[in-house]
Structure 1
């Protein structure tokens, strides 16, 4: 038997959506993409990017589908 933790359905759905959008990219492509986004650009070099800045940015990538469920925008 495998010791895989049980993930709550809402978390699994979110992870599946993230994978569907970003799973196609290599690590170097993901790095390149993130380095062109506001959280990275607007944070001084060597400073950590705050959770608040990240949340604010990624909330702009979520689309309300009008049915009470948010969906992710397509990767750029």
Structure 2
């Protein structure tokens, strides 16, 4: 389970056997979300509204890094 980022209490990661489209799983406290990286579409979320907003801001600011890591991992 490659971890992409730990920031502001959020843990961003994906599983080693994932499937397209590129997406991240996010955990914070007892909530979690699944978000497509390129489009920032929220597939699922149990995060609080403010947490989801912060989560999406972090994904947006780290989008290139997340995509590079995803592509590197799955092109092996």
TM-score normalised by structure 2 residue count: 0.28
TM-score normalised by structure 1 residue count: 0.28
Q: Which structure exhibits the higher relative contact order, with contacts defined as CA atoms closer than 8 Å and separated by 6 or more residues?
A: 1
More helix by percentage: 1
More strand by percentage: 2
